[in-house]
């Protein structure tokens, strides 16, 4: 969709150009606030889990509980999002997640929250995210288009990581002053903004008309057939697997690093979580320039290599300042890779297949993170956090070389 307030082509490559479109700006702002509440909750949950147990595998299970539903249910969600009105569908998902957050807040307030209920409700929150994600990604090209699509996707990722910068710091301050229940309660309230913003948006008529009247099984079969027949999609997925499985190690083990390796208090723990988001925001702002200089294809390979180097330095020099700097650097690498991969997927998919195609992309992404999280968590439990980080950095080197042999579709030329 275009807008009368859309930037001219001379400014279309600007990192902030999509914010000139009112609908995108409103949804982006509401989503940033919601994600801020989500990161307050996630950081508080991670701190709470380290209070219940010192075993790294349980921290990894908490991460896996939030991401496993993406692997299990995302394709099902993509089928629904391609068959029904995506605006109403997203609102339903937001109401579900608001209810889960409110339940967490109530249990924490009553002192009834234990590690099993925390894991179970984290899975339920992940289920809401899994059902919501394909539809959310699919509506972005309905709001922005053409040369503004790549910066719009980067802005969505930057907004997520801006929330990751602010949410953990504010959350850990409130955690020390009031308690973890307040973090969950605030997160429940933040979904209201997204619900109202989505209700205010009106989908373009051509987007609504693009829905195909297929049965559920027909939609599933056609989606699977499209993905199986697309060599370009397979190339993006293969690249993603090369990065996400080893690259998730430092994020998965961050609670263990902060709480036990560095001995941080609540506030410093929140700062450590925040610097990843700060690095990611900086990466999103710089990404259009990097893509013009290197091409998105090469920018992703550089991001993989630099991510490996930063992980290795963090493992070898385990001090707060060094680890913080390395975590920020990995955040910039992470967003560069994800935004360029997501843009490649979006440009390949037709609108009637967009939610299902993005669902498969999310399944690969989160499936790789679940496998990686459990593997690196178990390795850290058996041999220690530092050896696990070193192993992940070493594993990323040959996988970066492999990824370099797989061309990112539509990205070999500079934008």
For residue range 60-80, what is the model confidence (pLDDT) as tens digits? 788 778 878 877 888 888 888
d(CA 184, CA 79): 30
Three-class SS state of 54: coil
The overall average pLDDT reported for the chain is: 84
Q: Which residues contact 105 (CB under 8 A, 6 or more apart)?
A: 181, 182, 184, 185, 187, 188
Rg (CA), the chain: 20
CATH number of 19-404: 1.20.1250.20
Q: pLDDT (tens digit, 0 to 9) for every residue of the chain, 415 residues total?
A: 334 344 444 454 566 778 888 888 888 899 899 999 988 888 888 888 777 777 777 777 887 788 788 778 888 888 888 777 888 899 999 999 999 999 999 998 888 888 788 889 999 999 998 889 888 877 887 788 767 777 787 788 778 777 877 888 888 788 877 878 899 999 999 999 999 988 888 776 655 555 556 677 777 788 888 888 888 889 999 999 999 999 999 988 988 898 888 988 878 887 887 888 788 888 878 888 888 888 899 999 999 999 999 999 999 999 999 999 999 999 999 988 988 888 888 788 887 787 788 778 878 887 888 888 889 988 998 999 999 999 999 999 999 999 999 988 865 444 4
d(CA 59, CA 115): 10
d(CA 196, CA 180): 27
Six token digits for residue 45: 């949950």
Half-sphere exposure of 410 (CA within 13 A, CB side): 16
Within 10 A of 271 (CB to CB), how many other CB atoms are there? 19
């Amino acid at each position: 969709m275009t807008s009368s307030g859309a930037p001219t082509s001379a400014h279309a490559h600007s990192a902030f150009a999509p914010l000139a479109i009112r609908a995108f700006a409103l949804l982006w702002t509401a989503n940033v606030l919601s994600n801020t509440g989500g990161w307050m909750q996630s950081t508080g949950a991670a701190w709470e889990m380290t209070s219940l147990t010192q075993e790294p595998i349980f921290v990894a299970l908490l991460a896996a509980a939030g991401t496993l539903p993406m692997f299990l249910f995302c394709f099902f969600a993509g089928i629904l999002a391609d068959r029904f009105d995506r605006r109403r569908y997203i609102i339903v998902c937001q109401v579900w997640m608001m209810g889960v957050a409110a339940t967490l807040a109530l249990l924490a307030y009553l002192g009834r929250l234990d590690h099993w209920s925390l894991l179970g409700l984290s899975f339920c929150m992940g289920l809401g995210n899994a059902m919501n994600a394909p539809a959310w990604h699919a509506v972005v090209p309905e709001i922005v288009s053409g040369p503004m699509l790549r910066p719009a996707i980067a802005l969505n990722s930057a907004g997520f990581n801006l929330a990751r910068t602010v949410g953990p710091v504010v959350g850990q301050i409130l955690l020390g002053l009031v308690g973890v229940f307040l973090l969950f309660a605030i997160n429940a309230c933040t979904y209201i903004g997204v619900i109202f913003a989505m209700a205010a948006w009106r989908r373009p008529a051509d987007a609504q008309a693009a829905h195909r009247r297929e049965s559920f099984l027909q939609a599933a079969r056609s989606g699977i057939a499209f993905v199986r027949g697309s060599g370009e999609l397979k190339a993006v997925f293969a690249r993603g697997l090369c990065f996400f499985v080893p690259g998730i190690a430092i994020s998965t083990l961050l609670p263990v690093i902060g709480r036990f390796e560095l001995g941080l208090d609540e506030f410093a723990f929140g700062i450590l979580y925040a610097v990843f988001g700060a690095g990611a925001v900086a990466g999103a702002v710089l990404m259009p320039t990097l893509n013009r200089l290197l091409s998105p294809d090469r920018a992703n390979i550089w991001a993989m290599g630099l991510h490996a180097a930063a992980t290795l330095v963090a493992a070898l020099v385990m001090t707060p300042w060094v680890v913080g700097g390395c975590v920020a650097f990995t955040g910039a690498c992470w967003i560069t890779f994800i935004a360029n991969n997501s843009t490649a997927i979006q440009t390949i998919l037709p609108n009637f297949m967009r939610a299902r195609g993005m669902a498969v992309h999310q399944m690969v992404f989160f499936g790789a993170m679940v496998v990686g999280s459990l593997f690196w968590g178990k390795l850290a439990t058996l041999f220690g956090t530092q050896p696990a980080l070193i192993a992940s950095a070493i594993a990323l080197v040959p996988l970066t070389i492999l990824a370099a042999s797989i061309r990112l579709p539509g990205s070999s030329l500079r934008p």
